[in-house]
Each structure stands twice: as structure tokens, then as C-alpha cells.
């Protein structure tokens, strides 16, 4: 707190006269207390008329007041006290001891400034004066100065001498405040985050000294692109931040990015080597009243995208909120899996000729307690990205096998103990194919629930072949060895070559819903469906159509020779009991 005030004339005579202290107004104990205190102190009281009075003080108090030139207090004339805030503090405290009792004030400016902390503590009232208090003054000048030096050190990067991350956000904050905190103004600043690419490789191969040298040279080049008022900082190992002033909005920020790219075109000399250094640049525009940390994080987010895209990227809030949602879904999905909060629904697959249930596809469902139902089209990709698909996939496999075994037991009175005449289809992600022991997992589920492999269809997508065809071949063959059926899901949407289709042991092609639902209005879709059906026939495979929503589609597909189908026309994915009831309802 700064209570800077013009210095009043030091009235040495008056001060000198009162330096001895002891006006006789106060009890002798106070005198003893004041003399004993090693710091400047005084006793102040309030007259019955409510006037502030200096009752006594020790010689150190004199010294400080002489030094600060505040004769007002010394003469007891608080109206002429140069640090009026002090007088107000004392008055307020004497009227109510619960009021603030501390104040930091500064006397003088720049290097000659002295810093004090004034503290009040209540004293027993005496006869002539009601409320009284002890005023103590501590000279904190040395402490404040070392704090300042330390803070300056904390805000600086020792290698480049530039502001560090803390110093940078401090600078952004000040720029934001200067822009006017109360009135929303046009955007005047942008933050660029520049990430030096492949720095760790240079550091590792050439040593950290060479790495340091490169960082310093890199910083110098960045410095050469700055305009007056711009600030460069080293915000991380190989990450730099630049605060740029902008007049023409985003164009100015992009021009700054362009200047940076320009200065990096010339190679860097490191000992005997010439190195080409590239960088990724993220830009975020400062919004009125925006938190500096948030602005910086936005620019960092844009850098991440710049790395993927290849050119400078400007932060877009919608993309960031999608990324945040993905991130929170990942965390919550992990928890949901741990707590077994996912469920498996079953959608009937109908034999289009007989109208009977040929099987059920097991589909994961997640009802989040706050967000409600979250679609697998949202959480499966998150599970794939995070690797959670491995445990999700194992859970789904086991659950589906368990349900099928349960159904078998429930239907025993009807079937005479024989297995039910249908299968359950389980989806397998390409990530599982690439990273898990799928055949082992399927075999374990079959064994644990006493099922035969022929009761399972495993739905794989074309992407599981594309990534590593050799591995996919081994997985498909291992599944066939278990007697399971292998279906190619979403067929037509991936990029698998016909050669693989022929070589791999695939039993069923599932025609993607996008082609099926297009059939009624679009002749291309009909042509594609026809082509898939004849391809399947030529390769000796069966077919399933996804997304049959109308009776017309069901009859057309049946007429075209498609073996089975699933879709809302027959039933939506159902809970296990409802699915089992559905099978029973279709028996006749
Ligand atoms: P998918 O394997 O192609 O499953 C078919 C999707 O089409 C399901 O969506 C199903 O509800 C939907 N569907 C079926 N008939 C109709 C219809 O007539 N109209 C419309 N509009 N949609 C229909 P869902 O359940 O949302 O699942 C989406 C995808 O998520 C699945 O596509 C599958 O790739 C994936 N998925 C779901 N559960 C699992 C799982 O346990 N493991 C793996 N790896 N993936 C899963
Ligand atoms: Mg499927
Ligand atoms: Mg599908």
C-alpha cells in the first residue's frame, strides 16, 4: 500500500522538544513499555470530544517521523499529518478495535523510498482519555527491496535474460490493465507462442551446451522480429512467448508470425554444423478483461494445433471446448469403467428371408449422471485415443458372452437345454487389433461362460486391416480357429483393398448405414449396395445391412438378396431382458 504524500517541512524545533516524550497524560506503565520497545512506537488516544491525540512516544518514533518529514503527528495536529491515511487508520481503530489495524506506507520515491508498516494494538483506557492504542512502526525498507530483487529474479529466465513464464503472464496482465479494465475495448494485443521443433533431438545429439547456444541465437532472431512495445519471453524449455501490439486485429498478429518464419529461413550455425530450425506458432487474441494465464494457455493450445496442421494457427474457442470435453470424457470414462457404470445393449439382426432373429449386436451404452446419455460415437473415439478401449473392449466381450450364456439358461425349458439358435456380435476396435491379444481374450470369454465359438460374431472395421495387414491377418485367422464368425463392419467407408478382402477369412460384410439409408432417394447408393451384394456373393460371404428404418428398405434389401439386416424398423438396441423378450416375440 502506498500512501505517498508530499513531504511537509520538518519542524525540527517542535520535534526536538517532544523527543523526550512523556506528557504526563498516560500511566507510567506505558512509558516503560515505550522505552522498552526496540522499534518506533507511540501511544495515541481519543479525547471525550472525539479528537485524536498523541499521548506519548519513544525517541525512535521521533526519528522516523523526522525522517519521513511528517511533523503533523509529532505536534499532535493530525489534520496537517502528511500521511492522512495513518490518521484515519488510528481514528477508525480507536472508535472500533475491530477495524483494520495495519497499514503499509511508503515514503519518498524510487531508490530513496522507505517502506514502513504501521500496526495498532489496543491499550487499557485511562482516566482522561477513553480508548487508547499503541502505534508501532517498523521500517521494512530492506525487506521490501530484497523482495523486489527476488521477485525480479523469479520473473527472469537465467539463460536468455528474458522474462520467464511468470514474468510473461505478469507483462500480459499489465498490458490488459493498460487497455482499460472496465470498458471493453477493441482487441489491442495478441500473444504468440513459438515452439522450437525437434529441439530435444539437437540437445540430445549435440549436448546441452550446444542446445543452450541454439536457444540464445533463436531468441535473438525472435527479438529481431519485434516491433516497439512487443515483449519476448522464454516460457518453457524450447517455448517462447511474444506479446504483440495489434492495430489491424488478426492480420497484425499473423504478420508477426510471418516475420518469425522469415528470420528462421536462414540456417543456424552450431560449432561446425549448419542447422535448419523450424517452429510452430500459435496465436491468441487478447479479449477485454481476459485472465493472462488463460490467454497464454489459449495460445499454447493453438500451438498444439499448429504442430498438426503445419502453419501458424489462431486459437478458436469452439475447438478448445471440444478438446476440453474430450478430455473430461476421458477422465470420466475411466472412472465409469472402474465402477462398472457402462451397460451393454443388444440390437436384433433379422434374417430378411424368414423374419426371424439371426443374432444381436452388442452395443455399449453410457448414461452419465450429470450429462445424461453419451453416444458411443462420442466416447468410443475418446476410448481409442486414450487406450481405454482395451479395457472397454474386454469388458464388452465378457459381458456379451455372459448375457448369451444367461439367455441360454433362461431358454432351457424352451430349447431343451440346447444353445439358442442365434449369435451375439461384438465390436472390436482397430486399436484392440493392434495392441491387445484378441484371440486370447475371446477364447477366455468363451471358456469362462461355457460357450462355443460359433455363437460369436466379431465385428471389425476396415481400419484394423489398413494399419497393419500382417497382424490383422494373424488375428482374423486366430478368430476363425476359435470357430467364431468374422464380420467386416461399416463396409465401404474404409480404404481396404479388394486383395485383402479376398485373402482374409471374412464371413460377413456389413453394409454401412450411409449407403442403406441413401437407397430410397439416391441411385448411386442403390448401385453401391448392389455392387457390395454381388461382391459378397462372388467371395462367398454373407451380408448384413445396417440402418434399416422402413419397411420399404427391408423388402428392397431382401429382394436384392441381402441376407440379414438391423435397424430401427425392427428394433432399437435393447436392454438384455427386453432383447430376450424380443427374440421370444418373433418365434412364430
Ligand atoms: P456400429 O458397430 O456400426 O453399430 C451400429 C450403429 O448403428 C449403432 O450405433 C446402432 O445403434 C446404429 N443403428 C442401428 N440401426 C439404426 C437405424 O435404423 N438408424 C440409425 N440412425 N442408427 C441405427 P451406436 O450404438 O450409437 O454405436 C455407434 C458405434 O460405436 C458402433 O457402430 C460401433 O462402431 C461403436 N461401438 C458401440 N459399442 C461398441 C463397443 O462395445 N466396442 C467398440 N469397439 N465399438 C463400439
Ligand atoms: Mg458394429
Ligand atoms: Mg456398423
Model pLDDT, residue 148: 87
Which residue matches cell numbers 439416391?
A: 522
The pLDDT, as a whole number, for residue 111 is 78
Distance from residue 119's CA to the centre of ligand 1 (Å): 71
pLDDT band at 184 (very low <50, low <70, confident <90, very high): very low
Contacts 24+ apart (CB under 8 A), 397-402: 397/426, 397/441, 397/442, 397/445, 398/445, 398/448, 398/449, 399/344, 399/362, 400/344, 400/362, 400/424, 400/426, 400/445, 400/456, 401/445, 401/446, 401/448, 401/449, 401/451, 401/456, 402/448, 402/449
Q: What is the pLDDT of residue 79?
A: 67
Q: Which residue matches cell numbers 499503541?
A: 134
Rounded Cα distance between 175 and 285, Å, is 13
Strands 114-123 and 132-139: antiparallel
Q: Looking at residues 530-550, what average pLDDT do you find?
A: 94
User: For residue 224, what are the CA distances in angstroms to 167, 232, 262, 367, 515?
Assistant: 20, 10, 11, 55, 57
Share the mean pLDDT of the chain: 88
Task: Answer yes or no: is pLDDT of 3 > 70.
Answer: no
* pLDDT above 70 (res 544): yes
Tell me the three cell numbers of residue 286. Answer: 487478447
Per-residue pLDDT tens over the stretch 281-310: 999 999 888 999 999 999 999 999 999 888
Q: Are 164 and 152 spatial neighbours (Cβ–Cβ below 8 Å)? A: no
Binding site membership of 461 for ligand 1 (Cβ less than 6 Å): no
What is the average pLDDT across 497-518? Answer: 89
Neighbours of ion ligand 2 (CB under 5 A): 427, 459, 489
Q: Which of 427, 431, 486, 494 to mutate to test the pocket of ligand 1 (most atoms within 8 A of CB)?
A: 427
Give the lowest-confidence range in 171-185, 362-376, 500-514.
171-185
Q: Which atom of ligand 1 is nearest to the CA of 569?
A: 18
Pocket test for ligand 1, best of 433, 544, 546, 554 (most atoms within 8 A of CB): 546
578 or 3, which is more confident?
578
For residue 494, report the distance from its CA to the centre of ligand 1, in Å.
16
pLDDT of 183: 44
The CA distances from residue 385 to 391, 466, 504, 555, in Å, are 13, 17, 26, 39
Residue 65 banded pLDDT, cuts 50, 70, 90: confident
Question: What whole-number distance in Å separates Cα of residue 216 and Cα of residue 221?
Answer: 9
Instruction: Round to whole Å and give the CA distance between 181 and 282.
Output: 25
In the chain, what are the domain boundaries? 4-145, 155-315, 329-583
Q: Whose CA is nearest to atom 43 of ligand 1?
A: 427
Q: Whose CA is nearest to atom 33 of ligand 1?
A: 427
Q: Does pTM top 0.75 for this prediction?
A: no
3-state secondary structure of 154: helix
In this prediction, residue 75 has a pLDDT band, given cuts at 50, 70 and 90, of low
Q: Name beta bridge partners: 461.
A: 489
Q: Provide the percentage of residues in the chain whose pLDDT is more than 90.
A: 63
The 10s digit of each residue's pLDDT in 323-341 is 888 899 999 999 999 999 9
Tens digit of pLDDT for each residue in 377-424?
999 999 999 999 999 999 999 999 999 999 999 999 988 989 999 999
Residue in 380, 402, 554 to alter for ligand 1 test, most ligand atoms within 8 A of Cβ: 380
What's the pLDDT score for residue 166? 94
Query: Would you place residue 525 in the very low, low, confident or very high pLDDT band (cuts 50, 70, 90)?
Result: confident
Q: What's the rounded Cα separation, in Å, for the pair 472 and 479?
A: 11
Mean local confidence (pLDDT), 14-41:
63
Whether the predicted pLDDT of 186 surpasses 90: no
Q: At what angle do helices 292-309 and 317-338 cross, to 10 degrees?
A: 90
Place 10 in a pLDDT band, splitting at 50, 70 and 90: very low
Q: What ligand 1 atom has the least distance to the C-alpha of 548?
A: 18
Is the CB of residue 568 below 6 angstroms from any atom belonging to ligand 1? yes
Which position has the higher pLDDT, 512 or 26?
512
Pocket test for ligand 1, best of 365, 376, 390 (most atoms within 8 A of CB): 376
| Nearest protein Cα to ligand 1, atom 23 | 547
Q: Name which of 378, 383, 344 is nearest 364 in CA terms.
A: 344
Helix axes 376-386, 389-415, angle to 10 degrees: 130
Quick one: average pLDDT of 225-239? 95
Whether ligand 1 lies within 6 angstroms of the CB of 393 is answered as yes
Nine cell digits for residue 296: 497464454
269/290 Cα distance (integer angstroms) = 40
Task: Between 406 and 319, name the one with better pLDDT.
Answer: 406
Spatial separation of the C-alpha atoms in residues 31 and 23, rounded to whole Å = 10
- 410 grid coordinates: 433362461
H-state helical runs in 155-249: 165-178, 199-206, 208-224
The better pLDDT of the pair 202, 129 is held by 202
Average pLDDT over residues 556-563: 96
At 18, is the pLDDT very low, low, confident or very high (cuts 50, 70, 90)? very low
Mutate to test the pocket of ligand 1, among 336, 343, 363, 509 (most ligand atoms within 8 A of CB): 363
The CATH architecture to which 329-583 belongs is: Alpha-Beta Barrel (3.20)
- Can you list the alpha helix ranges (DSSP code H) found in 234-316? 250-263, 292-309
- Cβ(442)–Cβ(434) under 8 Å? no
Q: Is 459 in the pocket of ligand 1 (CB under 6 A)?
A: yes
| pLDDT greater than 90 at residue 9 | no
Say yes or no: CB of residue 376 within 6 Å of ligand 1: yes
Ligand 1 pocket residue status of 566, Cβ below 6 Å: yes
Q: What is the per-residue pLDDT for 167?
A: 94
What is the share, in percent, of the chain residues with pLDDT greater than 70?
A: 91
556 in contact with ligand 1, CB cutoff 6 A: no
Rg (CA), the chain: 39
- Give nearest CA residue, ligand 1 atom 25: 363
User: Residue 512: CB within 6 Å of ligand 1?
Assistant: no
Confidence class for position 354, pLDDT limits 50, 70, 90 = very high
Locate the ligand 1 atom nearest the alpha carbon of residue 512 and give its number.
3
Distance between CA 283 and CA 298 in Å, rounded?
8
Q: Given this model, what pLDDT does residue 4 score?
A: 38
- Identify which ligand lies nearest to the alpha carbon of 425: 2
Does the Cβ of 136 fall within 6 Å of ligand 1?
no
Please check whether the domain covering 155-315 is classified as CATH 3.90.550.10: no
* CATH of the domain spanning 4-145: 3.30.450
383 lines ligand 1 (CB under 6 A): no
Q: Closest residue (by CA) to atom 10 of ligand 1?
A: 573
Which are the contacts of 33, defined by CB distance < 8 A and separation ≥ 6? Answer: 41, 134
pLDDT over 60 at 182, yes or no: no
258-278, pLDDT tens digit by residue? 999 999 999 999 878 899 999
**DSSP H/E element including 144:** helix 141-154
φ/ψ of residue 262, rounded to 5: -60, -50
Helix (H) or strand (E) holding 438: helix 438-448
Residue 80: predicted pLDDT:
63
Whether residue 19 has pLDDT greater than 90: no
Amino acid at each position: 500500500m502506498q500512501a505517498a504524500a508530499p513531504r511537509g517541512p520538518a519542524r525540527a524545533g517542535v520535534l526536538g522538544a517532544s523527543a523526550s516524550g512523556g506528557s504526563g497524560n498516560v500511566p507510567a506503565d506505558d512509558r516503560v513499555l515505550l522505552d522498552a520497545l526496540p522499534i518506533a512506537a507511540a501511544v495515541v488516544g481519543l479525547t471525550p470530544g472525539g479528537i485524536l491525540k498523541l499521548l506519548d512516544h519513544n525517541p525512535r518514533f521521533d526519528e522516523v517521523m523526522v525522517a519521513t518529514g511528517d511533523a503533523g503527528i509529532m505536534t499532535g495536529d493530525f489534520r496537517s499529518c502528511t500521511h492522512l491515511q495513518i490518521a484515519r487508520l488510528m481514528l477508525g481503530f480507536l472508535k472500533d478495535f475491530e477495524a483494520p489495524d495495519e497499514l503499509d506506507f511508503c515514503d519518498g520515491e524510487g531508490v530513496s523510498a522507505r517502506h514502513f508498516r504501521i500496526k495498532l494494538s489496543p491499550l487499557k483506557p485511562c482516566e482522561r482519555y477513553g480508548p487508547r492504542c499503541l502505534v508501532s512502526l517498523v521500517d521494512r525498507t530492506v525487506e521490501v527491496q530484497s523482495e523486489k530483487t527476488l521477485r525480479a529474479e523469479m520473473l527472469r529466465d537465467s539463460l536468455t535474460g528474458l522474462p520467464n513464464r511468470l514474468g510473461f503472464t505478469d507483462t500480459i496482465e499489465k498490458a490488459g490493465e493498460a487497455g482499460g479494465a472496465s470498458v471493453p475495448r477493441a482487441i489491442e494485443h495478441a500473444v504468440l507462442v513459438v515452439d522450437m521443433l525437434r529441439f530435444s533431438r539437437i540437445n540430445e545429439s549435440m549436448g546441452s551446451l550446444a542446445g543452450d547456444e541454439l536457444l540464445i541465437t533463436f531468441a535473438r532472431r525472435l527479438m529481431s522480429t519485434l516491433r516497439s512495445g512487443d515483449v519476448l519471453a522464454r516460457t518453457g524449455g524450447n517455448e517462447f512467448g511474444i506479446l504483440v501490439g495489434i492495430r489491424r486485429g488478426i492480420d497484425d498478429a499473423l504478420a508477426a508470425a510471418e516475420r518469425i518464419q522469415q528470420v528462421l529461413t536462414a540456417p543456424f550455425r552450431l560449432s561446425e554444423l549448419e542447422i535448419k530450425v523450424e517452429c510452430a506458432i500459435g496465436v491468441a487474441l487478447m479479449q477485454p478483461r481476459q485472465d493472462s494465464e488463460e490467454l497464454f494457455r489459449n495460445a499454447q493450445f493453438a500451438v498444439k494445433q499448429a504442430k498438426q496442421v503445419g502453419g501458424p494457427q489462431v486459437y478458436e474457442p469452439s475447438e478448445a471446448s471440444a478438446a476440453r470435453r474430450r478430455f473430461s470424457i476421458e477422465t470420466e470414462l475411466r472412472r465409469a469403467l472402474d465402477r462398472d457404470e457402462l451397460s451393454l445393449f443388444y440390437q436384433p439382426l433379422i434374417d430378411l428371408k424368414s423374419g426371424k432373429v439371426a443374432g444381436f449386436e452388442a452395443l455399449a451404452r453410457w448414461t452419465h449422471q450429470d450429462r445424461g446419455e453419451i453416444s458411443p460415437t462420442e466416447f468410443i473415439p475418446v476410448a481409442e485415443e486414450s487406450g481405454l478401449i482395451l479395457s472397454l473392449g474386454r469388458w464388452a466381450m465378457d459381458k456379451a458372452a455372459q448375457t448369451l450364456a444367461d439367455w441360454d439358461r433362461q431358454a432351457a425349458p424352451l430349447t431343451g437345454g440346447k444353445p439358442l439358435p442365434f449369435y451375439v456380435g461384438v465390436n472390436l476396435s482397430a486399436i484392440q487389433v493392434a495392441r491387445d491379444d484378441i484371440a486370447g481374450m475371446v477364447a477366455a470369454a468363451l471358456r469362462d461362460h461355457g460357450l462355443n465359438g460359433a455363437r460369436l460374431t466379431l465385428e471389425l472395421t476396415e481400419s484394423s486391416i489398413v494399419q497393419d495387414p500382417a497382424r490383422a491377418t494373424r488375428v482374423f485367422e486366430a478368430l476363425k480357429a476359435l470357430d467364431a464368425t468374422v464380420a467386416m463392419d461399416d463396409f465401404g467407408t474404409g480404404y481396404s483393398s479388394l486383395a485383402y478382402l479376398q485373402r482374409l477369412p471374412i464371413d460377413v460384410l456389413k453394409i454401412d448405414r450411409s449407403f442403406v439409408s441413401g437407397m430410397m432417394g439416391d441411385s448411386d447408393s442403390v448401385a453401391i449396395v448392389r455392387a457390395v451384394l454381388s461382391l459378397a456373393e462372388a467371395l462367398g460371404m454373407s451380408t448384413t445391412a445396417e440402418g434399416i428404418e422402413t419397411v420399404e428398405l427391408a423388402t428392397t434389401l431382401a429382394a436384392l438378396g441381402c441376407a440379414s439386416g438391423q435397424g430401427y424398423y425392427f428394433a432399437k438396441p435393447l436392454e438384455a431382458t427386453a432383447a430376450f423378450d424380443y427374440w421370444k416375440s418373433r418365434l412364430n
